[in-house]
Amino acid sequence: MIKSNLFIKNNIQKNYLNNNSLKILSKKFKKIILNIKRDIYNTKKTLNVLNDKFEFNFKIKDLKKFKKFKTIAIIGMGGSILGAEAIHDFLKIKIKKKIYFFDNLDSNKISNFKKKEDLKKVLFLIISKSGNTIETLSNTFALDIIKKNSKNIIIISEKKNNLLFSISKKFNLFYVEHKNYIGGRYSVLSEVGAIPAYLMGINILKLRSNNLKFLNGKEMLHLRDSTTKLANLLNSKKINNLIFLCYSQELEKFLFWCQQLIAESLGKKNKGFLPMISSAPKDHHSLLQLYLDGPKNKIFHIFSIDDKSKEKINIKKELNIKNFLNKKSLSKVKLAQKDALVESFKKHNIPFREFKIKTIKEEVLGKLFSYFMLETVIIARLIKVNPYDQPAVEQVKVITKRLLS
Protein backbone atom coordinates (compact mmCIF):
# COMPACT_ATOMS: atom_id res chain seq x y z
CA MET A 1 0.00 0.00 0.00
CA ILE A 2 1.20 3.54 -0.82
CA LYS A 3 -0.16 6.56 1.05
CA SER A 4 0.54 10.15 -0.03
CA ASN A 5 -1.04 12.38 -2.68
CA LEU A 6 -1.39 9.07 -4.52
CA PHE A 7 -2.93 6.15 -2.64
CA ILE A 8 -2.48 2.65 -4.16
CA LYS A 9 -3.80 -0.57 -2.65
CA ASN A 10 -3.78 -4.11 -4.05
CA ASN A 11 -6.62 -6.53 -3.39
CA ILE A 12 -5.56 -9.69 -5.24
CA GLN A 13 -6.85 -12.77 -3.45
CA LYS A 14 -4.56 -15.72 -2.67
CA ASN A 15 -6.64 -18.22 -4.65
CA TYR A 16 -5.59 -16.44 -7.86
CA LEU A 17 -1.89 -16.71 -7.03
CA ASN A 18 0.75 -19.45 -6.96
CA ASN A 19 3.05 -19.05 -3.93
CA ASN A 20 5.99 -20.92 -5.45
CA SER A 21 5.78 -18.82 -8.58
CA LEU A 22 5.62 -15.63 -6.48
CA LYS A 23 8.85 -16.56 -4.70
CA ILE A 24 10.64 -17.13 -8.01
CA LEU A 25 9.28 -13.85 -9.43
CA SER A 26 10.37 -11.95 -6.29
CA LYS A 27 13.96 -13.16 -6.78
CA LYS A 28 13.85 -12.08 -10.42
CA PHE A 29 12.48 -8.69 -9.35
CA LYS A 30 15.70 -7.84 -7.50
CA LYS A 31 17.82 -8.38 -10.60
CA ILE A 32 15.35 -6.50 -12.82
CA ILE A 33 15.39 -3.48 -10.50
CA LEU A 34 19.19 -3.32 -10.66
CA ASN A 35 19.05 -3.38 -14.46
CA ILE A 36 16.34 -0.69 -14.48
CA LYS A 37 18.43 1.59 -12.28
CA ARG A 38 21.34 1.17 -14.70
CA ASP A 39 19.07 1.91 -17.66
CA ILE A 40 17.78 5.10 -16.05
CA TYR A 41 21.32 6.47 -15.94
CA ASN A 42 22.20 5.29 -19.45
CA THR A 43 21.58 8.09 -21.96
CA LYS A 44 20.87 5.59 -24.73
CA LYS A 45 18.14 3.63 -22.93
CA THR A 46 14.41 4.28 -22.95
CA LEU A 47 14.08 4.64 -19.17
CA ASN A 48 16.65 7.42 -19.18
CA VAL A 49 13.53 9.58 -19.56
CA LEU A 50 12.98 9.03 -15.81
CA ASN A 51 16.43 10.35 -14.88
CA ASP A 52 16.17 13.55 -12.84
CA LYS A 53 19.08 14.91 -14.92
CA PHE A 54 17.41 14.05 -18.24
CA GLU A 55 18.37 16.62 -20.90
CA PHE A 56 15.72 17.93 -23.29
CA ASN A 57 16.51 18.59 -26.93
CA PHE A 58 15.19 22.14 -26.58
CA LYS A 59 15.75 25.29 -24.56
CA ILE A 60 12.88 26.99 -22.74
CA LYS A 61 14.08 30.36 -24.05
CA ASP A 62 13.54 29.14 -27.63
CA LEU A 63 9.91 28.24 -26.86
CA LYS A 64 8.97 31.55 -25.22
CA LYS A 65 8.11 33.12 -28.58
CA PHE A 66 5.30 30.56 -28.95
CA LYS A 67 3.68 31.42 -25.60
CA LYS A 68 1.73 34.26 -27.25
CA PHE A 69 -0.56 31.80 -29.02
CA LYS A 70 -3.92 31.39 -27.28
CA THR A 71 -5.00 28.46 -29.44
CA ILE A 72 -2.91 25.30 -29.90
CA ALA A 73 -3.56 22.34 -32.21
CA ILE A 74 -1.59 19.15 -31.52
CA ILE A 75 -1.35 16.59 -34.32
CA GLY A 76 -0.14 13.07 -33.58
CA MET A 77 -1.06 9.45 -33.01
CA GLY A 78 -0.70 7.02 -30.11
CA GLY A 79 2.18 7.81 -27.80
CA SER A 80 2.93 11.02 -29.66
CA ILE A 81 -0.28 12.63 -28.40
CA LEU A 82 -1.91 10.52 -25.66
CA GLY A 83 0.44 11.92 -23.01
CA ALA A 84 -0.36 15.52 -23.94
CA GLU A 85 -4.08 14.69 -23.82
CA ALA A 86 -3.64 13.13 -20.37
CA ILE A 87 -1.79 16.22 -19.13
CA HIS A 88 -4.46 18.53 -20.56
CA ASP A 89 -7.43 16.72 -19.05
CA PHE A 90 -5.88 16.09 -15.64
CA LEU A 91 -4.60 19.67 -15.23
CA LYS A 92 -7.23 21.54 -17.26
CA ILE A 93 -8.15 23.67 -14.26
CA LYS A 94 -4.73 25.35 -14.74
CA ILE A 95 -4.95 25.74 -18.53
CA LYS A 96 -6.30 29.01 -19.94
CA LYS A 97 -5.73 28.29 -23.64
CA LYS A 98 -7.91 26.60 -26.23
CA ILE A 99 -6.41 23.21 -27.12
CA TYR A 100 -7.35 20.96 -30.04
CA PHE A 101 -6.15 17.38 -30.48
CA PHE A 102 -6.04 15.68 -33.87
CA ASP A 103 -5.50 12.07 -32.80
CA ASN A 104 -7.52 10.23 -35.45
CA LEU A 105 -8.73 10.63 -39.03
CA ASP A 106 -11.92 12.71 -38.90
CA SER A 107 -12.89 14.75 -41.97
CA ASN A 108 -15.68 16.63 -40.19
CA LYS A 109 -13.38 17.69 -37.36
CA ILE A 110 -10.84 19.05 -39.86
CA SER A 111 -13.53 20.93 -41.83
CA ASN A 112 -15.13 22.45 -38.74
CA PHE A 113 -11.76 23.48 -37.32
CA LYS A 114 -10.79 25.25 -40.56
CA LYS A 115 -14.11 27.13 -40.58
CA LYS A 116 -13.96 28.09 -36.91
CA GLU A 117 -10.33 29.11 -36.43
CA ASP A 118 -8.00 31.58 -38.12
CA LEU A 119 -5.16 29.17 -38.90
CA LYS A 120 -2.57 31.97 -38.80
CA LYS A 121 -3.37 32.50 -35.13
CA VAL A 122 -3.13 28.83 -34.19
CA LEU A 123 0.09 27.19 -32.99
CA PHE A 124 0.48 23.74 -34.56
CA LEU A 125 2.54 21.01 -32.88
CA ILE A 126 3.16 18.12 -35.26
CA ILE A 127 4.58 15.08 -33.46
CA SER A 128 5.71 11.74 -34.89
CA LYS A 129 8.73 9.71 -33.78
CA SER A 130 9.19 8.12 -37.21
CA GLY A 131 8.28 11.34 -39.04
CA ASN A 132 6.24 9.21 -41.42
CA THR A 133 3.09 8.36 -39.44
CA ILE A 134 0.31 8.07 -42.03
CA GLU A 135 -2.48 9.63 -39.96
CA THR A 136 -0.29 12.50 -38.71
CA LEU A 137 0.83 13.35 -42.23
CA SER A 138 -2.74 13.03 -43.54
CA ASN A 139 -4.08 15.48 -40.96
CA THR A 140 -1.20 17.89 -41.48
CA PHE A 141 -1.71 18.02 -45.25
CA ALA A 142 -5.51 18.13 -44.92
CA LEU A 143 -5.16 21.22 -42.71
CA ASP A 144 -2.91 22.73 -45.41
CA ILE A 145 -0.67 24.52 -42.90
CA ILE A 146 2.82 23.91 -44.33
CA LYS A 147 4.16 27.23 -45.60
CA LYS A 148 7.66 28.62 -46.07
CA ASN A 149 9.04 30.24 -42.88
CA SER A 150 5.81 29.62 -40.94
CA LYS A 151 6.17 31.00 -37.42
CA ASN A 152 3.31 28.95 -35.96
CA ILE A 153 4.56 25.38 -36.47
CA ILE A 154 6.68 23.13 -34.26
CA ILE A 155 7.75 19.73 -35.58
CA ILE A 156 8.99 16.94 -33.30
CA SER A 157 10.44 13.85 -35.01
CA GLU A 158 13.59 11.79 -35.24
CA LYS A 159 16.51 13.49 -36.94
CA LYS A 160 16.84 11.13 -39.87
CA ASN A 161 15.54 10.57 -43.38
CA ASN A 162 11.80 11.05 -42.81
CA LEU A 163 9.15 13.32 -44.28
CA LEU A 164 8.52 15.59 -41.28
CA PHE A 165 12.24 16.25 -40.73
CA SER A 166 12.66 16.94 -44.47
CA ILE A 167 9.69 19.35 -44.39
CA SER A 168 11.14 21.20 -41.39
CA LYS A 169 14.40 21.79 -43.29
CA LYS A 170 12.82 22.58 -46.66
CA PHE A 171 10.35 25.13 -45.25
CA ASN A 172 12.55 26.46 -42.42
CA LEU A 173 10.19 25.39 -39.62
CA PHE A 174 10.94 25.17 -35.89
CA TYR A 175 12.20 21.64 -35.26
CA VAL A 176 12.91 19.60 -32.10
CA GLU A 177 14.59 16.22 -32.28
CA HIS A 178 12.71 13.21 -30.89
CA LYS A 179 15.28 10.97 -29.19
CA ASN A 180 15.49 7.77 -31.21
CA TYR A 181 15.90 5.54 -28.16
CA ILE A 182 12.60 6.59 -26.54
CA GLY A 183 9.51 4.95 -28.01
CA GLY A 184 6.25 6.87 -28.26
CA ARG A 185 4.45 5.23 -25.34
CA TYR A 186 7.36 6.03 -23.01
CA SER A 187 7.89 9.59 -24.29
CA VAL A 188 5.41 11.64 -22.24
CA LEU A 189 8.11 12.97 -19.89
CA SER A 190 10.44 13.78 -22.80
CA GLU A 191 10.12 16.54 -25.41
CA VAL A 192 6.94 14.89 -26.69
CA GLY A 193 4.94 15.69 -23.55
CA ALA A 194 7.03 18.48 -22.07
CA ILE A 195 6.70 20.93 -24.98
CA PRO A 196 2.88 20.73 -25.20
CA ALA A 197 2.71 20.93 -21.38
CA TYR A 198 4.93 24.02 -21.24
CA LEU A 199 2.93 25.78 -23.95
CA MET A 200 -0.31 24.96 -22.09
CA GLY A 201 1.15 26.73 -19.04
CA ILE A 202 2.04 23.61 -17.02
CA ASN A 203 5.16 23.48 -14.81
CA ILE A 204 7.23 20.76 -16.50
CA LEU A 205 9.82 20.62 -13.71
CA LYS A 206 7.09 19.68 -11.22
CA LEU A 207 5.70 17.17 -13.74
CA ARG A 208 9.07 15.40 -13.70
CA SER A 209 9.81 15.75 -9.97
CA ASN A 210 8.61 12.34 -8.72
CA ASN A 211 10.11 10.01 -11.33
CA LEU A 212 12.27 7.88 -9.04
CA LYS A 213 10.08 7.68 -5.92
CA PHE A 214 9.22 4.02 -6.49
CA LEU A 215 12.77 2.69 -6.59
CA ASN A 216 13.46 2.99 -2.88
CA GLY A 217 12.07 2.00 0.52
CA LYS A 218 8.42 1.09 1.09
CA GLU A 219 7.37 2.28 -2.35
CA MET A 220 9.76 -0.20 -3.99
CA LEU A 221 8.33 -2.98 -1.80
CA HIS A 222 4.88 -2.04 -3.05
CA LEU A 223 6.17 -2.11 -6.63
CA ARG A 224 7.54 -5.62 -6.01
CA ASP A 225 4.22 -6.76 -4.56
CA SER A 226 2.25 -5.34 -7.51
CA THR A 227 4.47 -6.50 -10.36
CA THR A 228 5.07 -10.03 -9.08
CA LYS A 229 1.36 -10.60 -8.45
CA LEU A 230 0.32 -9.20 -11.85
CA ALA A 231 3.01 -11.27 -13.61
CA ASN A 232 1.80 -14.30 -11.64
CA LEU A 233 -1.74 -13.72 -12.91
CA LEU A 234 -0.53 -13.46 -16.51
CA ASN A 235 1.64 -16.57 -16.26
CA SER A 236 -1.25 -18.57 -14.78
CA LYS A 237 -3.53 -17.62 -17.73
CA LYS A 238 -6.36 -17.14 -15.19
CA ILE A 239 -6.67 -13.39 -15.80
CA ASN A 240 -6.31 -11.75 -19.21
CA ASN A 241 -8.63 -8.73 -19.01
CA LEU A 242 -7.73 -5.51 -17.21
CA ILE A 243 -10.64 -3.11 -16.68
CA PHE A 244 -9.90 0.49 -15.71
CA LEU A 245 -12.91 1.77 -13.78
CA CYS A 246 -12.73 5.55 -14.04
CA TYR A 247 -14.71 7.53 -11.44
CA SER A 248 -13.19 10.91 -12.42
CA GLN A 249 -13.38 12.36 -15.92
CA GLU A 250 -10.04 14.11 -15.42
CA LEU A 251 -8.35 10.68 -15.47
CA GLU A 252 -9.94 9.22 -18.59
CA LYS A 253 -7.25 10.36 -21.06
CA PHE A 254 -4.55 9.21 -18.66
CA LEU A 255 -6.14 5.77 -18.73
CA PHE A 256 -6.08 5.78 -22.53
CA TRP A 257 -2.35 6.49 -22.22
CA CYS A 258 -2.10 3.51 -19.82
CA GLN A 259 -4.07 1.37 -22.23
CA GLN A 260 -1.52 1.82 -25.01
CA LEU A 261 1.42 1.43 -22.63
CA ILE A 262 0.15 -1.89 -21.28
CA ALA A 263 -1.26 -3.31 -24.52
CA GLU A 264 1.79 -2.62 -26.68
CA SER A 265 4.38 -3.44 -24.03
CA LEU A 266 2.91 -6.72 -22.74
CA GLY A 267 0.77 -8.01 -25.62
CA LYS A 268 3.26 -10.39 -27.21
CA LYS A 269 3.92 -14.13 -27.55
CA ASN A 270 0.28 -14.91 -26.72
CA LYS A 271 0.66 -13.04 -23.41
CA GLY A 272 -0.63 -9.79 -21.92
CA PHE A 273 -3.73 -8.08 -20.58
CA LEU A 274 -6.51 -6.67 -22.73
CA PRO A 275 -6.87 -3.22 -21.08
CA MET A 276 -10.30 -1.57 -21.36
CA ILE A 277 -11.62 1.71 -19.97
CA SER A 278 -14.99 1.77 -18.24
CA SER A 279 -16.68 5.04 -17.26
CA ALA A 280 -18.19 4.92 -13.78
CA PRO A 281 -20.73 5.15 -12.30
CA LYS A 282 -22.34 5.27 -15.76
CA ASP A 283 -21.27 1.72 -16.62
CA HIS A 284 -22.87 0.40 -13.44
CA HIS A 285 -26.02 0.44 -15.55
CA SER A 286 -24.65 -1.52 -18.51
CA LEU A 287 -21.60 -3.62 -17.61
CA LEU A 288 -21.75 -4.22 -13.86
CA GLN A 289 -23.76 -7.44 -14.22
CA LEU A 290 -20.98 -8.92 -16.36
CA TYR A 291 -18.25 -7.58 -14.06
CA LEU A 292 -19.75 -9.22 -10.97
CA ASP A 293 -21.35 -12.36 -12.36
CA GLY A 294 -19.59 -13.03 -15.65
CA PRO A 295 -16.36 -14.96 -16.33
CA LYS A 296 -13.75 -14.55 -13.57
CA ASN A 297 -11.00 -13.63 -16.04
CA LYS A 298 -10.70 -9.94 -15.14
CA ILE A 299 -8.78 -7.72 -12.75
CA PHE A 300 -10.06 -4.21 -12.07
CA HIS A 301 -8.14 -1.01 -11.47
CA ILE A 302 -10.40 1.52 -9.74
CA PHE A 303 -9.38 5.16 -10.25
CA SER A 304 -10.79 8.17 -8.44
CA ILE A 305 -9.88 11.72 -7.44
CA ASP A 306 -10.96 13.24 -4.13
CA ASP A 307 -13.80 15.49 -5.26
CA LYS A 308 -14.09 18.61 -3.12
CA SER A 309 -17.03 19.96 -5.12
CA LYS A 310 -19.88 21.23 -2.93
CA GLU A 311 -22.58 20.86 -5.59
CA LYS A 312 -25.56 19.44 -3.67
CA ILE A 313 -28.88 17.81 -4.41
CA ASN A 314 -31.60 20.16 -3.23
CA ILE A 315 -35.16 18.86 -3.31
CA LYS A 316 -37.46 21.85 -2.87
CA LYS A 317 -39.96 21.73 -0.02
CA GLU A 318 -42.91 22.47 -2.28
CA LEU A 319 -42.27 19.21 -4.15
CA ASN A 320 -43.19 17.39 -0.93
CA ILE A 321 -40.79 14.55 -1.74
CA LYS A 322 -38.75 12.75 0.90
CA ASN A 323 -35.65 11.07 -0.45
CA PHE A 324 -32.34 9.85 1.01
CA LEU A 325 -30.47 11.83 -1.69
CA ASN A 326 -31.62 15.21 -0.38
CA LYS A 327 -28.80 17.49 0.82
CA LYS A 328 -26.16 14.98 -0.33
CA SER A 329 -23.35 16.29 -2.55
CA LEU A 330 -22.91 14.71 -5.98
CA SER A 331 -19.38 13.73 -4.97
CA LYS A 332 -20.74 11.86 -1.93
CA VAL A 333 -23.20 9.94 -4.13
CA LYS A 334 -20.40 8.93 -6.48
CA LEU A 335 -18.12 7.93 -3.60
CA ALA A 336 -20.89 5.73 -2.15
CA GLN A 337 -21.29 4.00 -5.54
CA LYS A 338 -17.55 3.34 -5.73
CA ASP A 339 -17.38 2.04 -2.16
CA ALA A 340 -20.38 -0.21 -2.84
CA LEU A 341 -18.58 -1.67 -5.84
CA VAL A 342 -15.44 -2.31 -3.78
CA GLU A 343 -17.55 -4.14 -1.18
CA SER A 344 -19.21 -6.20 -3.93
CA PHE A 345 -15.85 -7.12 -5.47
CA LYS A 346 -14.72 -8.42 -2.09
CA LYS A 347 -17.89 -10.48 -1.65
CA HIS A 348 -17.54 -11.96 -5.16
CA ASN A 349 -13.83 -12.70 -4.66
CA ILE A 350 -12.87 -10.51 -7.64
CA PRO A 351 -9.27 -9.16 -7.80
CA PHE A 352 -8.93 -5.39 -7.92
CA ARG A 353 -6.62 -2.50 -7.15
CA GLU A 354 -7.49 0.98 -5.94
CA PHE A 355 -5.82 4.20 -7.09
CA LYS A 356 -6.97 7.29 -5.18
CA ILE A 357 -5.62 10.72 -6.13
CA LYS A 358 -5.77 13.23 -3.28
CA THR A 359 -4.89 16.42 -5.15
CA ILE A 360 -4.70 17.58 -8.77
CA LYS A 361 -1.08 18.64 -9.19
CA GLU A 362 1.70 18.24 -11.75
CA GLU A 363 3.72 16.20 -9.25
CA VAL A 364 0.92 13.66 -8.81
CA LEU A 365 0.41 13.16 -12.54
CA GLY A 366 4.17 12.79 -13.05
CA LYS A 367 4.19 10.15 -10.33
CA LEU A 368 1.40 8.25 -12.09
CA PHE A 369 3.27 8.35 -15.40
CA SER A 370 6.52 7.08 -13.90
CA TYR A 371 4.79 4.45 -11.74
CA PHE A 372 3.01 2.82 -14.68
CA MET A 373 6.10 2.94 -16.90
CA LEU A 374 8.16 1.18 -14.23
CA GLU A 375 5.43 -1.31 -13.38
CA THR A 376 4.89 -2.20 -17.04
CA VAL A 377 8.59 -2.67 -17.83
CA ILE A 378 9.08 -4.87 -14.75
CA ILE A 379 6.06 -7.05 -15.58
CA ALA A 380 7.33 -7.42 -19.15
CA ARG A 381 10.70 -8.62 -17.88
CA LEU A 382 9.03 -11.02 -15.44
CA ILE A 383 6.90 -12.64 -18.17
CA LYS A 384 9.83 -12.58 -20.63
CA VAL A 385 8.64 -10.19 -23.33
CA ASN A 386 10.34 -7.09 -24.73
CA PRO A 387 8.53 -4.02 -23.32
CA TYR A 388 9.86 -1.66 -25.99
CA ASP A 389 8.96 -3.13 -29.38
CA GLN A 390 5.66 -3.67 -31.24
CA PRO A 391 6.42 -5.98 -34.19
CA ALA A 392 2.79 -6.78 -35.04
CA VAL A 393 1.94 -3.07 -35.34
CA GLU A 394 4.86 -2.51 -37.71
CA GLN A 395 3.55 -5.32 -39.92
CA VAL A 396 0.17 -3.57 -40.31
CA LYS A 397 1.92 -0.28 -41.18
CA VAL A 398 3.84 -1.98 -43.99
CA ILE A 399 0.66 -3.54 -45.42
CA THR A 400 -1.20 -0.20 -45.20
CA LYS A 401 1.51 1.59 -47.18
CA ARG A 402 1.41 -1.17 -49.80
CA LEU A 403 -2.37 -0.82 -50.17
CA LEU A 404 -2.12 2.97 -50.57
CA SER A 405 0.84 2.95 -52.99
Residues 234 and 367 in one domain: yes
* DSSP labels, 203-263: -HHHHTTTTTGGGSHHHHHHHHHHHHHHHHHHHHTS--EEEEEE--GGGHHHHHHHHHHHH
In a domain, 130, yes or no: yes
Q: Which domain holds residue 65?
A: 60-207
Q: Are residues 300 and 365 in the same domain?
A: yes
Q: Are residues 285 and 382 in the same domain?
A: yes
Q: Indicate the residue among 187, 207, 227 that finishes a domain.
A: 207
Tell which of 189, 207, 225 closes a domain.
207
Sequence length of the chain is 405
- The verdict on 255 and 175 lying in the same domain is no
Contact, 204 vs 194, CB < 8 A? Answer: yes
**52 domain-assigned:** no
Task: State the pTM of this model.
Answer: 0.94
How far does the chain reach from its first CA to its final CA, in angstroms? 53
Q: Are residues 156 and 290 in the same domain?
A: no
Tally of structural domains, the chain: 2
Which pairing describes strands 6-11 and 352-357: parallel, antiparallel, or unpaired? antiparallel
Within-domain flag for 89: yes
Q: Are residues 196 and 221 in the same domain?
A: no
Q: Do 232 and 190 share a structural domain?
A: no
pLDDT per residue as tens, the chain (405 positions): 666 788 999 999 999 999 999 999 999 999 999 999 999 999 999 999 999 999 999 999 999 999 999 999 999 999 999 999 999 999 999 999 999 999 999 999 999 999 999 999 999 999 999 999 999 999 999 999 999 889 999 999 999 889 999 999 999 999 999 999 999 999 999 999 999 999 999 999 999 987 888 898 889 999 999 999 999 999 999 899 999 999 999 999 999 999 999 999 999 999 999 999 999 999 999 999 999 999 999 999 999 999 777 777 676 666 666 677 766 777 888 889 999 999 999 999 999 999 999 999 999 999 999 999 999 999 999 999 999 999 888 888 889 889 988
Which CATH number characterizes residue 197's domain?
A: 3.40.50.10490
State residue 321's pLDDT score: 64
Residues 96, 116, single domain; the answer is yes
250 and 112 belong to one structural domain: no
Task: Specify burial of residue 123 (Cβ count, 10 A radius: 0-12, 13-18, 19+).
Answer: buried
Query: Is 239 found in the same domain as 203?
Result: no
> SS3 of 170, please?
helix
Among 179, 207, 235, the domain boundary falls at 207
DSSP state string for 123-154 = EEEEE-SSS--HHHHHHHHHHT---TT-SSEE
Has residue 44 been placed in a domain?
Answer: no
Q: Please report whether residue 48 resides in a domain.
A: no
Rg of the Cα atoms in the chain: 23
